[in-house]
Amino acid sequence: MTHLAILCVRNEAAFLLEWLAHHHAVGFDDFLVFSNDCDDGTDTMLDRLAEMGLLTHVRNEGPYEKGGIQFTALKAAAKMQQVKQADWILPLDVDEFVNIHAGDHTLSALHAALPDATAITLTWRLFGTSDQIRYADTAVTDTFTRCAPATLYWPWRAAMFKTLYRNDGTYKKPGVHRPRDPVKDRLEHARWFDGAGRPLPDLFKTSRIFSNYGQDNYGLVQLNHYPLGALESYVLKADRGRAVHSDDLLGMDYFVERNFNQEEDTTIKTLEPARRTELARLKADETLRKLHDTAVAWRKSRFTELMQSEPYRALFGRLLMAQPSRTVSPDAARFLIRHANMGRQDPKK
């Protein structure tokens, strides 16, 4: 049974080897990675990894569909034999790490816990900056351990998920958050479960992209999401642009909705020994090690360069002044949700 992870990256070589090492330890045995417009050697690193037989690398050089760079990549992926032959598929970003709580913390254990599932929603758990200001060449999963509470009432984006789904013909294409283009006469056989092991209603089979917020969705599996990194890394992320909506600039709104540091979660460390072993194997390759070191140096140099520009210098100053985000009370969340629903009912909104 093969598990394929699909990844889209730009200027992420400093984080790529850790991501690969972790997900190999989780149980993914096939990787399809799209790159675009890389300045830090990410594409060259992916070429080397492809030479070593560890993944498939595709340069996603455009032109891009209306849905953006990632949408274009996933549309192309749907036509590839590698994707058609995979048993299970999960599209991910490089700042997302699968964290399984069942059994031995691998995909095999997750399937054993949910043997009837044809799709499992992996809900984000947002990890904040953990008070890290300067970027350092340390493992993301070791450095950032402060996160949002298991039960979060707002914002709704905090409950977004990625979908691990059986590639059994029910859906024709992978999507950013959920598989796309369902085959209607197969939908009745689809069995969707959430990360806590609860069966999900039919709405999830066709349209939902976020879990029911205000409840704990992480009993069996969660998706550790590290969207910010250190403050320096967030400035570089703003420079890179969004993966999906590449023309939308990242600012304080994105930061505030994700910088939760109220709780500490180190459960992902259960796979640390296996991840470290795999990472050491990757870095034993002299070419990969040099490419990694070059990418680390590039990030530091690029930050210094951005600080000469007022918009990025102003952003960094605001990040330094900003406090960790506060959670919204259940009453305040209900107020926001009520007005959001009113807005959807008004055709002028």
> Where are the domains positioned within the chain?
3-345
Distances (CA, A) of 31 to 54, 92, 109: 7, 10, 20
pLDDT the model gives residue 242: 58
Place of tokens 């990040």: 319
Find residue 126's DSSP bridge partners.
225
Q: In terms of Cα–Cα distance, which of 104, 191, 140 is closest to 12?
A: 140
pLDDT the model gives residue 301: 98
pLDDT the model gives residue 347: 47
Place of tokens 């960094």: 316
pLDDT the model gives residue 202: 96
What is the distance between the alpha carbons of residues 114 and 166, in angstroms, rounded to a whole number? 12
How confident is the model over 202-260, as pLDDT tens digits?
Answer: 999 999 999 988 889 999 999 999 999 999 999 999 998 755 444 556 899 999 999 99
Average pLDDT, the chain: 94
Q: pLDDT below 70 — which residues of the chain?
A: 242-249, 343-349
pLDDT the model gives residue 214: 83
pLDDT the model gives residue 240: 87
Query: Quick one: 293 exposed, middle or buried, by C-beta within 10 A (0-12, 13-18, 19+)?
Result: middle
Token code pair at residue 150: 């298991």
How confident is the model over 176-195, as pLDDT tens digits?
Answer: 999 999 999 999 999 999 99
pLDDT the model gives residue 243: 53
pLDDT the model gives residue 206: 96
Q: Which residues contact 21 (CB under 8 A, 6 or more apart)?
A: 275, 276, 278, 279, 282
- The maximal CA–CA distance of the chain, rounded, in angstroms, is 60
Q: How many helices (H) and strands (E) does the chain have?
A: 14, 13
pLDDT the model gives residue 348: 52
Beta strand segments in the chain, E: 3-9, 30-35, 56-59, 88-92, 96-100, 119-126, 146-147, 161-166, 171-173, 180-182, 192-193, 221-225, 263-264
Find residue 149's DSSP bridge partners.
none
pLDDT the model gives residue 283: 98
pTM of the complete model: 0.95
